[in-house]
Amino acid sequence: MRGIHDEGSERIPSGCAISSIFSKSGKPINGERIIHSMAPMHDRSNGLGGGFAGYGIYPQHKDDYAFHVFYDHSKAQNACESFLKERFCFAASEQIPTRKLSAITQEPISMRYFLRPLYRRMEDLQLDESEYVARCVLHINAQIDGAYVFSSGKNMGVFKAVGFPEDVGRYYRLEEYEGYCWTAHGRYPTNTPGWWGGAHPFALLDTTVVHNGEISSYDANRRTIEMFGYACTLKTDTEAITYIIDYLTRKCGLTLSETAGVIAAPFWSTITAMPEPARSQAAYLRHAFSSLLITGPFSIIVGFTGGLMALNDRLKLRSMVVGEKGDMVYIASEECAIRVIEPEPDRIWSPAGGQPVIITLDKSCQGGDHHGL
């Protein structure tokens, strides 16, 4: 089994498949559905990474931070758990339930903790809760050798492994979970790192990103986001995108559509043709965050508590389709991934490059959404 530093030692481009299902009324969706959606896109992955994120899946622990952690060895587990014990109260601690599959091998130790921050310590550091938790996650991932926190939000969870996405879903027994939102990813890396942490979704707090593409602005983005305290240890595009979205939404207070206006900023020619005040707002965002513009092909689905954002690069160099049926919304790399689970959608369309599609729970069922819109 190769560890975090093997994967992080060089940058690996990868192609991919992504899919998501969202119920605007907050209706629980079984994890089995998202596995079905991924199956027809089998050839977009090559068995070197698959993963899922579910939202609303831990109602019994909805106010606790659910940490999913991979360990290369028990020494890492001991180090990480003692680090966490100094900073959090443990509401629960268990192995993530899995089933043995011949297709999934070389499993790391995978643990799940439901955590509550120790408020005294948090106040000593003069940090708000989300910053406190985020710093703990970033510290473990950068500093504790062999430990990797791959999920850290409330009432949501990431499940990922090396393998085809359908196998990964069955391995994690996703049929035992229900949530109002699922995202999924199948990876096609052009190399064979075979490290579980390298699979998508990438997550920090409740923000998850599944991504198809290879961004040409990577090193410009990485060197900028690292300036703000994020360590890009994995050297993957998706990790950098996740941190950029966290920085813009949580730290700078931008809305999701403003965030889209930074990372997939309109061309200057488009901005010039906009009416005021949209023009000056768009120009301001491009100016103020110019080094966080992402170029090159990408389609991403960003999950967060209470919603989803789908976004293509501004030239739309990767396929992405959106479908609707009643209160259900489907987003996928290919239309077949939608039709296999919803043969007769009310509407199906391809969003234009750089145009974010933002979907949120209906007002009546919204909880604590920290992302403005």
Partner 1 sequence: MAFDFLYPQYEIIRNPSRCTACRLCEKQCANGVHHMDTHSGTMLADESKCVACHRCVALCPARALKIVKTDHTFKENANWTGKTITEIYRQAGSGGMLLSSMGNPEPYPIYWDKLLINASQVTNPSIDPLREPMETFTLLGAKPETMMRDSLGNLVDNMPPQLRLKLPVMFSAMSYGSISYNAHAALAAAATELGTFYNTGEGGLHPDFYPYGSHTIVQVASGRFGVHPDYLNAGAAIEIKMGQGAKPGIGGHLPGVKVGPEISRTRMIPEGTDAISPAPHHDIYSIEDLRQLVYSVKEATHYQKPVIVKIAAVHNVAAIASGIARSGADIIAIDGFRGGTGAAPTRIRDHVGIPIELALASVDQRLREEGIRNRVSLVVSGSIRSSSDLVKAIALGADAVYIGTAALLALGCHLCRSCQKGLCNWGIATQRPDLVKRLNPETGAKRLINLLTSWDHELKEMMGGMGINSIEALRGNRAMLRGIGLTQKELDILGVKHAGE
Active site residues: 16
- Of 30 and 257, nearer to partner 1 (C-beta) is 257
Measured from the CB of residue 240, what is the shortest distance to partner 1 in angstroms? Answer: 11
Sign of the CA dihedral running 366, 369, 371, 372: positive
Q: What are the residues whose beta carbons fall under 8 Å from the beta carbon of 249, sequence distance 6 or more? A: 207, 255, 256, 259, 304, 370, 371
Measured from the CB of residue 279, what is the shortest distance to partner 1 in angstroms? Answer: 11
End-to-end CA distance of the chain: 42
Measured from the CB of residue 277, what is the shortest distance to partner 1 in angstroms? Answer: 6
Measured from the CB of residue 263, what is the shortest distance to partner 1 in angstroms? Answer: 11
- Of 68 and 318, nearer to partner 1 (C-beta) is 318
CA neighbor of 308 nearest in space, from 224, 219, 236, 369: 369
One-letter identity of residue 94: E
- Of 153 and 193, nearer to partner 1 (C-beta) is 193
Measured from the CB of residue 314, what is the shortest distance to partner 1 in angstroms? Answer: 8
Measured from the CB of residue 247, what is the shortest distance to partner 1 in angstroms? Answer: 12
Is the bond preceding residue 193 a cis peptide, omega within 30 degrees?
A: no
Dist. CA 204–CA 356, nearest whole Å: 21
- Of 79 and 282, nearer to partner 1 (C-beta) is 282
Nearest 5°: the CA angle 330, 213, 30 is 30
**CA-CA-CA-CA dihedral for 241, 242, 248, 249, to nearest 10:** 140
102-to-51, 73, 107 alpha-carbon distances in Å: 17, 22, 11
Residues within the interface to partner 1 (CB under 8 A): 11, 13-15, 190, 213-214, 216-221, 223-224, 226-228, 252-254, 258, 265, 267-269, 277, 280-281, 284-285, 287-291, 293-297, 314-315, 317
CA neighbor of 370 nearest in space, from 229, 239, 157, 207: 207
Q: For the chain, what is the largest distance between any 2 Cα atoms, rounded to a whole number of angstroms?
A: 59
- Across 120-144, b (16+ Cβ under 10 Å) vs e yields eebeeeeeeebbbbbebbbebbeeb
